[in-house]
Structure 1
Amino acid sequence: MRILKWLLGIIAALVVLLIAIALMLPNDFTVTRSIVINAPADKIYPLVAAPAEWKKWSVWNQRDPAMQMTFSGPASGTGAAWDWQSKSQGNGGMKFTAATPNQNIDYELHFEGMGKPSSGALKFEPQAGGTKLTWSMHGNSEGNLMMKLFSPFMDKMVGSDFDSGLKNLKKLVEQP
């Protein structure tokens, strides 16, 4: 019985320590990646502004070919949205909240059970011989201690997916 009380005491102390650490962590996180694509923005934009086109280059869709997607709103641009259900990638949805052709797309992203939605943007900048595309996501984990523990690691967790997606998009756009 003494050992059980000792173990419960250690577990309780670890839980309190974990909560204390979570409370000290920042609420906000940002993930940003960029790539230069050797094509004008008007060749890239249709592949980004239409949710149905994301399956051609997004790593999340490629990781789960059985992902179930439901599209709503217009086919592209402001108001275009999709929800997905996936055993490996989770359930969630994305909606384009603003879109200016060949310049930017702003979005809101949510995952079931992950608290507040994140917001993000895809920005198109003309470059010599092509377009610089910057993909960013911002979130706030305030009020969700579990998400707060992940916030410092979001760049490492999501950044590589952004990099891979942008590389896939570049390859798709630049193919002859």
Structure 2
Amino acid sequence: MLPSHYKVERSIIINVSQQKLFPQIANLKNWQNWGVMFKRNPNMTIEYSGQAGRVGMTSLWLSETKGGGEMQIIAIEKNQRLIYSLNLSDSQINSTGEIVLSKVEGGTKVVWMGYGDVGINPIDRYFAFFMDYLVGSDYEMGLDNLKLVAEAS
């Protein structure tokens, strides 16, 4: 039977402290500097609400070619963890994302995860089965971009 749950996870070592790196993650406006969807579609419309880097901060976006969505910070542990909800307008599959920072020799290990449950729909379960293949490379590119931005500043 096909799974209803999925989890995508990637990690990278970035040669800066957690304290220096965390603002790039916790302020959703900074995702424009490293997020893959922003690089692929720089002309999309983006709106932000809520206080930067705080629970409740939200980004809404709309793209003529990639659709739209909403991301909202739902939990923060300063300099350690950010948890967000992600809802894409052209999909009924909603997910939770998590970025975890931990100190390692010479910098910070960043683990980026996305996970969720697609329910009982068999077509959605196929998406769950292939989710790592579908979005894993986006996580890798996003982490590579984050490393470049963080280490350059």
Shared fold (TM-score greater than 0.5)?
Answer: yes
In structure 2, relative to structure 1, the CA distance for the partners of 1:37 and 1:27 (3 Å cut) is same
Gap regions ≥5 residues in structure 2? none
Residues 1:41 and 2:18 aligned together: yes
Code of the residue aligned with 2:70 in structure 1: it is: G
Q: Say which SS state the counterpart of residue 125 (structure 2) adopts.
A: helix
Q: State the shift of 1:72 in Å.
A: 1.0
Residues 1:153 and 2:121 aligned together: no
Residues 1:62 and 2:39 aligned together: yes
Residues 1:78 and 2:55 aligned together: yes
The structure whose RCO (Cα within 8 Å, separation 6+) is larger is: 2
> What are the Cα deviations for residues 7-32 of structure 1, in whole angstroms up to 9, with x where unaligned?
xxxxxxxxxxxxxxxxx311011000
Code of the residue aligned with 1:123 in structure 2: it is: V
Q: State the shift of 1:116 in Å.
A: 4.4
Task: Report the TM-score, using the length of structure 1 for normalisation.
Answer: 0.83
- Which residue among 9, 23, 38 is the counterpart of 1:32? 9
Task: Report the TM-score, using the length of structure 2 for normalisation.
Answer: 0.95
User: What is the count of residue pairs matched by the alignment?
Assistant: 153
Residues 1:114 and 2:91 aligned together: yes
Residues 1:126 and 2:98 aligned together: no
5 Å-filtered alignment, 1:15-26, equals 24-26=1-3
Structure 1 distance, partners of 2:64, 2:40, is: 11
Please say which of residues 31-40 and 149-158 is displaced more in the overlay. Answer: 149-158
Partner residue in 1 for 2:114: 137
Q: Which structure: larger Rg? A: 1
Structure 2 distance, partners of 1:53, 1:33, is: 20
In terms of fraction of residues, the more strand-rich structure is: 2
Q: Say which SS state the counterpart of residue 61 (structure 1) adopts.
A: helix
Code of the residue aligned with 1:124 in structure 2: it is: L
In terms of fraction of residues, the more helix-rich structure is: 1
> What are the Cα deviations for residues 133-171 of structure 1, in whole angstroms up to 9, with x where unaligned?
100010111043332221111101111000000000101
Structure 2 distance, partners of 1:144, 1:115, is: 10
Structure 2 distance, partners of 1:89, 1:48, is: 22
Q: Say which SS state the counterpart of residue 99 (structure 2) adopts.
A: strand
Please say which of residues 73-82 and 42-51 is displaced more in the overlay. Answer: 73-82
Structure 2 distance, partners of 1:92, 1:57, is: 18
Structure 1 distance, partners of 2:96, 2:133, is: 18
